[in-house]
């Protein structure tokens, strides 16, 4: 099985998307992260859901976890305001999670090795001009995303 066969539609966001909308998307679809695209539509970064959760927690609570137990629910409900007015670009880690990219003709084992090496829950499948794939396009084209859970499902189905 090739990467092009494993790739599925997956939510992607442009860099300047609203961070609160990104959080809602991740929550509603229970995603581990979202693929962020640059202005040219190419994979730019992965925004992990855990990063957004981390941005919701005040620094003083991260420094002293015991404070989390004494913060009341009404205050906790206001935590999401930390994302209001921010963009996805502003929420990316300083050392952004560079997305793993597979060629459409990569095998399932090549994709698995890439995921393991990069410790990435997602791999973008991108067709590039002059790449290994048999179909050349004028500019890179995102074919879809392979998630670790989908890859496991496919690999376990073969076993």
2 burial via Cβ count (<10 Å: 0-12, 13-18, 19+) = middle
- 148, pLDDT greater than 60: yes
Average pLDDT score, the chain: 87
Half-sphere exposure for 74 (CA within 13 Å, toward CB): 0
Q: How confident is the model at residue 10 (pLDDT cuts 50, 70, 90)?
A: very high
Q: Using an 8 Å Cβ cutoff, are 145 and 124 in contact?
A: yes
pLDDT given for residue 137 in this prediction: 53
H/E element holding 37? strand 33-37
Choose between 13 and 129: higher pLDDT: 13
Model confidence pLDDT, tens digit, residues 44-78 = 999 999 999 888 887 787 888 887 777 766 665 67
Residue 116 has pLDDT above 80, yes or no: yes
Taking the domains of the chain in order of start, what are their residue ranges?
A: 3-158
The pTM of this model reads 0.80
Hey, what CATH topology would domain 3-158 get? CBS-domain (3.10.580)
Please tell me the predicted confidence (pLDDT) of residue 74.
66
Within the chain, how many helices (H) and strands (E) appear?
A: 8, 6
């Amino acid at each position: 099985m090739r990467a092009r066969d494993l790739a599925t539609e997956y939510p992607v966001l442009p860099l300047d998307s609203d961070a609160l909308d990104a959080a809602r998307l991740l929550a509603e679809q229970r995603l581990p992260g979202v693929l962020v695209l640059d202005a040219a539509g190419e994979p730019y970064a992965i925004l992990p859901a855990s990063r957004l959760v981390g941005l919701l927690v005040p620094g003083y609570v991260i420094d002293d976890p015991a404070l989390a137990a004494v913060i009341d629910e009404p205050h906790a409900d206001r935590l999401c305001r930390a994302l209001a007015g921010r963009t996805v670009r502003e929420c990316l880690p300083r050392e952004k999670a560079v997305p793993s990219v597979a060629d459409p003709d990569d095998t399932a084992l090549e994709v698995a090795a890439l995921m393991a090496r990069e410790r990435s829950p997602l791999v973008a499948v991108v067709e590039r001009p002059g790449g290994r794939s048999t179909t050349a396009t004028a500019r890179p084209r995102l074919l879809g995303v392979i998630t670790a859970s989908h890859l496991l499902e496919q690999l376990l189905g073969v076993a």
